[in-house]
Amino acid sequence: MTEQNTRLGILLMVATTFIFASQDGLSRHLAGEYNVFMVIMIRYWFFAAFVMTLAARQAGGLRAAAATDQPLVQGFRAVLLVAEICVMVLGFTLLGLVESHAVFACYPLLIAALSGPVLGERVGWRRWAAIGVGFVGVVIILEPGFGVFRPQAVVPLAAAFMFALYGLLTRYVARLDTAATSFFWTGTVGAVAMTAVGAWFWEPMTTPDWGWMGLLCLTGALGHYTLIKCYEVAEASSVQPFAFLQLVFGSAIGMMVFGETLRLNVALGTALIVGAGLFTIWRQRRAAA
């Protein structure tokens, strides 16, 4: 792996986080005007078409991409991801981008905590300490001891747990299936599952918002494309720390576009979560080496 490849991978990861943060801003706007299920359903239609187009261009075509010996796990993780997206977008409408992203940033810590029971991996005391520090940060953000605790603050935490489990299941199926197969199942099964739900919540959409919806679909496809290219040119351990920039970009969009504010407790809690997450990634990299 050359230094140039690593640098390119970092640039692609930064671009990916900005694209996904922009996608979150578009989702926040559209889900604030229309039903969340309908918005995610249309987004997934485009995503499924993108996935199938990529698969058709690979050796073996759609049949090879769909081939798997673990269809139940692949199907479950696809449904889990689309459900997590619905929960997270709901969080955007309830809490805004700043606080939702701040809480969601704990998902790498959840992956580390769950990697033992789900994948049988060993988690040492240093990573457990980092996980503890990260969850202190979550508590600081949620402020359960001040005033009336808002139940909606748990929504992005639930999304983080679902995304962590999805990440672990993705690592589990990777023992037998290629990334292309997992990507195919994610898009196609997710689209079918979302259509079964979202079709019941169809609402008329204005012409300008159809434009925003088109942009949402494009950012989804573009973000996945840049992410795929990122992992093609650089090791995951080298670029993963930069994934936290989605928190920065998403919060900036929340403040500049939607007029959200960054409270002191959210800033302090986020700093603890990100610091603990970066330490956890570093320890995993050391253990792999």
Question: What's the 3-state SS for 103-157?
Answer: HHCCHHHHHHHHHHHHHCCCCCHHHHHHHHHHHHHHHHHHCCCCCCCCHHHHHHH
Tens place of pLDDT per residue across the chain (289 aa): 444 577 888 888 889 989 999 999 999 999 999 999 999 999 999 999 999 998 888 888 888 889 899 999 999 999 999 999 999 999 999 988 988 888 888 887 787 777 777 767 676 777 778 778 877 877 777 765 554 456 777 899 899 999 889 888 888 888 888 888 888 999 999 999 999 999 999 999 999 999 999 999 999 888 888 887 887 777 766 777 778 888 888 889 998 998 988 788 788 888 888 887 787 777 766 766 6
pLDDT, the chain, mean = 85
Residue 239 gets the label, from left (phi > 0), alpha (psi -120 to 50) or beta, of alpha
Predicted TM-score (pTM) of the model is 0.86
**In whole angstroms, what is the distance from residue 94 CA to residue 259 CA?**
14
